[in-house]
Structure 1
Amino acid sequence: MTREGHRIRLRKEQLVQGAALCLLLFLAGLAIAGPSGLLAWSENSRLLDQRNAQVVALIVERDRLQNLVDLLNPANADPDLVGELLRQNQNMVHPDEVVLTLPESE
């Protein structure tokens, strides 16, 4: 092989190695600072904890509403709850009831 051919081959190898090094550095940068890299790990963990807390709150609210639905089942409604809801939402009272309003305390 001639001296000139050897230089061209060496130059091509250097370009390929340089491109591979650039690609490797880019991938390392993504692993550290990318959207799912090491720097985003704590933020994702914090968001996961927030979402888990929201899920727990929604499960508690769902269970409360399910209990209310079960108590208002037309086949077997709880009379105390029905009366409470009628008084609260419809302002309905029995003729023999007296309503006392209390001033709101702050």
Structure 2
Amino acid sequence: MPRAATRQRKQSFIRRLVTPAIAIAALGYFGFHAMSGELGMVGRAMIERQVSELESELELLTAERQELVARVGLLRPESLDPDMLDERARLNLNLVHTNELVVLRPGHRYNVN
């Protein structure tokens, strides 16, 4: 009865490098995207800069809104200021009383009828 001979192969040098090469390529790919991807370290700095810009814009808009709310509050019937109403009406209608003194400032355009 013939004996079955097993053949042993010696691993080639290139075959031993395939698995580490694939692992290094995968690590390099994920490492690159972790640093410079949209949500990576560089992307995070850009997002933080945008957040700070938007927060400063929000502060400006909040202050402007509070000013407008205060001005609208002055126009409510229960808190209507006659002096402010008179001033706004004169400015918009371009009218003055006959006994008032008008000071014209240089550089401004005036409608004189």
Which residue, out of 42, 47, 54, partners 1:51? 54
* 1:31 maps onto 2:31 in alignment: no
Matches within 5 A, 1:10-25: 14=18, 18-25=21-28
Q: Normalising by the residue count of structure 1, what TM-score does the alignment of the two structures yield?
A: 0.70
Which residue of the partner structure matches residue 87 of structure 1? 90
Select which of 62, 66, 71 maps to 1:68.
71
For residues 42-76 of structure 1, what are the alpha-carbon distances to aligned partners after superposition, in whole Å with 9 as ceiling and x for unaligned? 32222222111111111110001110000111343
TM-score, normalised to structure 2's length? 0.67
Q: Distance in 2 between matches of 1:21 and 1:30?
A: 14
Q: Are positions 1:98 and 2:92 aligned together?
A: no
| Gap runs ≥5 in structure 1 | none
Among all aligned residue pairs of Structure 1 and Structure 2, give the percentage whose two residues are the same amino acid: 28
Q: Deviations over 1:51-104 (max 9, x none)?
A: 111111111100011100001113431112112211222213234323221224
Query: How many angstroms does 1:20 deviate by?
Result: 4.9
State which drifts further: 71-80 or 17-26.
Answer: 17-26
In 1, distance between residues paired with 2:99 and 2:24? 89
What count of residue pairs does the alignment treat as equivalent? 102
SS of 1:70 mapped into structure 2: helix
Amino acid at match of 1:45: E
| Cα offset, 1:2, TM superposition | 6.3
